[in-house]
């Protein structure tokens, strides 16, 4: 059985070895036939502690690490705004 892989944005990195990742999915409304954005937050294990707020990451399902951590960070996408040096200054 394959494990689910999701892509999202890190919204919190204040914990040790844990990041909170917000994942967006689009759902078609049954009556109005418009797409709605639905969001869910997942606590993911970041073993190396390299993810920062605003980073785009991929997370994968894993055996439970704690009460809320059932996901692990598998890759960090380059080009996210918060990880580029000088992005705050507009350089």
CATH number for the domain harbouring residue 74:
2.40.50.140
Say if 15 falls within a structural domain: yes
Q: Which residue's structure tokens are 């390299």?
A: 50
pLDDT, averaged across the chain: 88
| Residue 61 structural domain | 5-79
Whether pTM > 0.85 for this model: the answer is: no
Q: Say what the pLDDT of residue 89 is.
A: 42
**Structurally, how many domains does the chain consist of?**
1
Tens of pLDDT, residues 23-63: 999 999 999 999 999 999 999 999 999 999 999 999 999 99
Question: Average pLDDT of 56-71?
Answer: 96
- Among the residues of 1-91, which ranges form H helices? none
Q: Say what the pLDDT of residue 78 is.
A: 64
């Amino acid at each position: 059985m394959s494990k689910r892989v999701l892509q999202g944005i890190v919204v919190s990195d204040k914990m040790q070895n844990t990041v909170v990742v917000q994942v967006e999915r689009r759902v078609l409304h049954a009556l109005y036939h418009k797409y709605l954005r639905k969001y869910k937050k997942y606590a993911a294990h970041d073993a190396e502690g390299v993810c920062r707020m605003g980073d785009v990451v991929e997370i994968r399902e894993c055996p439970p690490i704690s009460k809320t951590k059932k996901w692990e960070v598998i890759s960090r996408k380059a080009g996210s705004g918060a990880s580029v040096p000088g992005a705050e200054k507009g350089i």
